[in-house]
């Protein structure tokens, strides 16, 4: 038994809440993708610079005009290792955002097709709101604990 809901079946409050959930999901998706691309790019730079240090040491040993190359490449490796450490510390937040996005999308799909928890209740939309708010509260609690850990200075 499915509900086959169309946009005209929604009240303005329901439509506004669904738009809120959609925007929240889109925002967390974009943040996760941006973080992943940045991490991959930084690792490529670290690998190239690290390989460049060894190559520069092997090739430039005799020419004193090029002695700055290994030091500069070593500096690049250290900087990007630091950036990677910063992103590593944000991976818990990233996982929480991804979990939020997936759980909200799951609840919305279940509501639209009238899955088990949304069947045989007076107001399936009220159940959707309650479950989505529980997911958002769990996300808020996770992020509050995460920020408290960061503020406390305990690193991984």
Please indicate, yes or no, if residue 131 is contained in any of the structural domains: yes
Please indicate, yes or no, if residue 21 is contained in any of the structural domains: yes
Convert 55-76 to b/e letters by CB count within 10 Å (16 or more is b).
ebeeeeeeeeeeeebbeebbeb
pLDDT digits (tens, 9 = 90+) for 140-155: 898 888 878 767 755 4
pLDDT of residue 89: 64
Over 70: is that where the pLDDT of 90 sits?
Answer: no
DSSP letters along 107-147, please? Answer: HHHHHHHT-GGGSS-S-HHHHHHHHHHHHHHHHHHHHHHHH
Please indicate, yes or no, if residue 3 is contained in any of the structural domains: no
Please indicate, yes or no, if residue 86 is contained in any of the structural domains: yes
Judge contact between 46 and 81, C-beta under 8 A: yes
What is the chain's mean pLDDT, rounded?
Answer: 77
Over 90: is that where the pLDDT of 130 sits?
Answer: yes
What confidence category does residue 62 fall into, taking pLDDT thresholds of 50, 70 and 90? low
To which residue do tokens 């730079």 refer?
Answer: 45
Q: How many domains does the chain have?
A: 1
pLDDT digits (tens, 9 = 90+) for 2-26: 454 555 566 887 888 888 888 877 7
The pTM of this model reads 0.56
Q: Which domain holds residue 76?
A: 8-152
Over 70: is that where the pLDDT of 63 sits?
Answer: no
Contact partners, residue 135, CB within 8 Å, separation at least 6: 100, 103, 104, 107
């Amino acid at each position: 038994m499915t509900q086959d809901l169309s946009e005209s079946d929604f009240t303005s409050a329901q439509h506004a809440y669904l738009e809120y959930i959609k925007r929240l999901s889109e925002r967390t998706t974009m943040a996760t993708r941006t973080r992943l691309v940045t991490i991959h790019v930084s690792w490529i730079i670290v690998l190239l610079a690290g390989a460049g240090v060894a190559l520069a040491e092997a090739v430039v040993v005799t020419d004193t005009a090029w002695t700055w190359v290994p030091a500069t490449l070593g500096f690049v490796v250290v900087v990007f290792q630091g950036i990677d450490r910063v992103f590593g510390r944000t991976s818990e937040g990233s996982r929480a955002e991804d979990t939020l996005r997936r759980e909200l999308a799951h609840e919305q799909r279940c509501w639209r097709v009238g899955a088990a928890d949304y069947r045989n209740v007076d107001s399936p939309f009220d159940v959707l709101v309650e479950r989505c708010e529980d997911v958002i509260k769990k996300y808020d609690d996770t992020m509050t604990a995460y920020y408290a850990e960061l503020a406390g200075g305990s690193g991984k």
